[in-house]
Structure 1
């Protein structure tokens, strides 16, 4: 009963904890159970031997032979003792096997937990890089390095990113290979191991042995030659997994081993965890980059937005004050824009805004700053520029806009606009003052255009 109670308690503890502590408790309970069971059997053996000794003594003292009944009792005692000893031996053997199994499981789980923790720490570090604005290709390279370091038997690796056509894979990160032009190296999705082996249906990692033999089935001789040059066949074993973001394929990670029997079944579980975390990291990167983009750029036209422009303008004005440099603001307002929306619709109005923004952006220097100020107003800042240079820039904008009509319902429409100019230091000392004067000059130009 004590033994059964102990086993029951062990199972209850396992259900409660279900972690590494449960394994420790299992071992402790097994040892306790074995000790109590052995003690129980030993008491039975001692009792049997004591009875046997007492019987033999009585027989000697009485100077009489044992009766048939006495012999049967002694035989039963002996058989019971022998049976119990055999049970004890079997129980001890079974106990040792259970202990070995539990210890192996504990070590295997401990190894998995340690590796998972290392990958998790790498993921946390990468999230910090995302916040700092690190680009996606750099993040992928760090992710690949973390996987190669943590997963056993891993000597090299590749990460491919799916192209917009959802058919080609672009090489985004690699380690242990030799590429002359990595930015032009790409694969067709249908030729990858994952696609050929499971059509990407189960989204699970797979282990490949004898990579070259499998490649011959799915790749052209030209592709095989390219892979030979990169050193791909120095690694006969492959552990590969898809990278997905919200259920959509983002890319493929492929880890390579020089060992032809490299990677074990346990590595599949680790790779599944890693590829899942990669998807989360990349999704975070996309969201943060999008937020950063929207904080700096206008989502419709792609030029800078007002908030970012004003932040930069303040810095430029501070520099101009310190170094006695000239600055000019050019403020634009599209003429008749409301009538375009009313006549042709808002999609046509958006097309006019985008065409205007693109044309002006291409007409100015890369060091100048151009932004959508709001609605149908745009603003440009020219620094390190004199009056003559400013006239040249404005004339370039006028000529380029005149040569870039917008087609609205089959009719070429030339964008009409008014503009005003103000400069530092001749028109004012601060950004706000210069902007106010440029706005006044633009309004005067608009009145003239209406005449």
Structure 2
């Protein structure tokens, strides 16, 4: 507004200057007979020039202001998405938030979809706005069937606007793919603005904002959408870095099962739930009997193979509801939900059989993992974490002593 006011003031000042100069010079240049008509002509021309100049400048200022406001709106949305990284549960929520903000920011956008490119070159729908999620749940698109690929002849780095989406897809898609989209109500939109999401200069996914208006979206909207997509690339990379960090905080680096820190955290939550709902469970401690001799004779790298294989065997033997973790150097722990002693012993017998059938081959040596174990039961043996772990640990060392005899 301030710039517009200054512009109007400048134009009015220019008009007055020209007006005064004409009043001074016209009587000198022309005789009195033609002075007034010439004055009137120059006044009209000056006013016309000033008026059209003002209109042009005013439109320019308004367009610049609208662009600035739209850019500001997009940046505020990006900041909101970035701030949510620490509170959202998973990437699915992140993708949904990204899409919702895109639809909100782009004029004429009523619906939208966000697709992620998988390793098999299929695009999977990860977020939807305005469409039935159930109908798109199992629907995947070949990259070659995407708007970007078809419109740009294989160049997926450029955005595009597709008008009359249903007719366009009918002309370019296979009959099966077209019918899948038709039955999913994918053609309630008239116009689609499709933009690539690139991470590390590679196609990561596609974000589509759709309009029910056949003449929706402009090249300016496409520029805004490209700017939005470029900004969310950083957000996605930050989310992936955070996911990796959280994974490392929760998992043992050698075995990729839970570490002691995270196990104790979820075990305390398990105790609270068991007490609240009167549930029971068993906890077992495991110790690798032949790890030390393997380390001493074949080296720690060979010993690491035993540790990794034990973790793999434990994960493959327990039930999906059970929890396993590496508790120390050669110690592992497992929680068996809703299980009594006999159930746990049966699982451990299966674990013994697993290692007999899957020995570790180290150079010329064939080694079967051997282990000792101890079991404690909640609530019959105790109700506190330290108490239960101590009982299981004591029984494990009794079992180890029995093996040595």
TM-based fold match above 0.5: yes
How does 1:207-226 map onto structure 2 within 5 Å?
Answer: 207-216=161-170, 218-226=172-180
Deviations 1:357-413 (A, max 9, x none): 233234334444321113332112346654444433433433344344345569764
Distance 1:345 1:194 in 2: 54
- Aligned match of 1:294: 248
Contact kept, 8 Å, 1:160 with 1:252, in 2: the verdict is: yes
- Give the one of 114, 135, 138 matched to 1:184: 138
What root-mean-square deviation, in Å, do the aligned CA atoms of Structure 1 and Structure 2 show?
Answer: 3.7
- What is the DSSP-based 3-state SS (H/G/I as helix, E as strand, rest coil) of the residue aligned with 1:32? helix
> Deviation per CA, 1:320-374, whole angstroms, max 9, x where unpaired?
7889987654222223335656887877655543432233234334444321113
- In structure 1, C-alpha distance between the alignment counterparts of 2:161 and 2:279, rounded to whole Å: 64
Q: 2:349 aligns with which of 390, 395, 405?
A: 395
Q: 1:142 aligns with which of 97, 103, 114?
A: 97
Q: Distance in 2 between matches of 1:149 and 1:97?
A: 35
**What runs of 5+ residues in structure 1 fail to find an aligned partner?**
1-20, 53-72
- Match of 1:233, SS state, is coil
Q: Is the 8 A contact 2:15 2:46 kept in 1?
A: no
Residue of structure 2 in register with 1:56 after alignment: none
Measured in 2, the distance between the counterparts of 1:390 and 1:356 equals: 17
In the superposition, relative to structure 1, how do residues 47 and 105 fare at CA in structure 2: closer, same or farther (>3 Å)?
closer
Q: Is the 8 A contact 2:148 2:155 kept in 1?
A: no
Is 36-45 or 181-190 further displaced after alignment?
36-45
Match of 2:63 in 1: 108
8 Å contact kept, 1:421–1:441: yes
Provide, for residues 74-130 of structure 1, a one-character-per-residue CA deviation record: whole Å limited to 9, x for no partner.
736777776665454334323322322232233333333444444444444434443
Structure 1 residue aligned with 2:222 = 268
User: How far off its partner does 1:251 sit?
Assistant: 0.6
Bigger drift between 217-226 and 378-387 goes to: 378-387
User: Do residues 154 (structure 1) and 131 (structure 2) align?
Assistant: no
Alpha-carbon distance, 1:250 to partner:
1.5
Note closer, same or farther for the CA distance 1:35–1:177 as it changes in structure 2 (3 Å cut). Answer: closer
Pair 1:272–1:362, CA change in 2 (3 A): same
Deviation at 1:435, TM superposition (A): 3.5
Aligned residues: 405
Secondary structure of the residue that 1:208 maps to in structure 2? strand
Compared CA separation, residues 433 and 44, structure 1 to 2 (3 A): closer
Counterpart position of 1:16: none
The counterpart of 1:432, out of the listed 376, 386, 390, is 386
Q: In structure 2, how many angstroms separate the alpha carbons of the residues matched to 1:253 and 1:180? A: 19
Residue of structure 1 in register with 2:327 after alignment = 373
Partners of 1:346 and 1:207 lie apart in 2 by 60
2:86 to 102, 108, 131: 131
Is contact 1:194-1:206 (8 Å) kept?
yes
Going from structure 1 to structure 2, the CA distance change for 1:316 and 1:97 (only over 3 Å counts) comes to: same
Cα distance change of structure 1 residues 149 and 392 upon mapping to structure 2, 3 Å threshold: same
2:122 counterpart of 1:168: yes
Given candidates 28, 32, 44, the residue that maps to 2:9 is 32
Flag structure 2 segments of 5+ consecutive residues without an equivalent: none
Q: Are 1:89 and 2:66 an aligned pair? A: no
Mapping of 1:304-343 within 5 angstroms? 304-316=258-270, 328-337=282-291
- 2: distance between equivalents of 1:275 and 1:101? 32
Contact 1:48-1:81 within 8 A present in 2 as well: no
Aligned to 1:59: none
The answer as to whether partners of 1:41 and 1:84 remain within 8 angstroms in 2 is: no
- Whole-angstrom CA distance in 2 between matches of 1:386 and 1:227: 51
Secondary structure in 1 matching 2:137: helix
Q: Report if aligned partners of 1:245, 1:279 keep a CA contact under 8 Å in 2.
A: yes
What is the deviation of 1:313?
Answer: 3.1
For the structure 1 residues 299 and 109, does the alpha-carbon distance in structure 2 shift closer, same or farther, using more than 3 Å as the test? farther
* Partners of 2:192 and 2:209 within 8 A in 1: yes
Q: Distance in 2 between matches of 1:324 and 1:400?
A: 33
Select 2:237's aligned residue among 283, 293, 299.
Answer: 283
The 2-side partners of 1:217 and 1:417 are apart by: 65
Cα distance, 1:271 vs structure 2:
0.5
- In the TM superposition, what is the alpha-carbon distance from 1:426 to its structure 2 partner? 7.5
> How far did 1:168 drift?
1.1
Separation in 2 of the partners of 1:265 and 1:323? 59
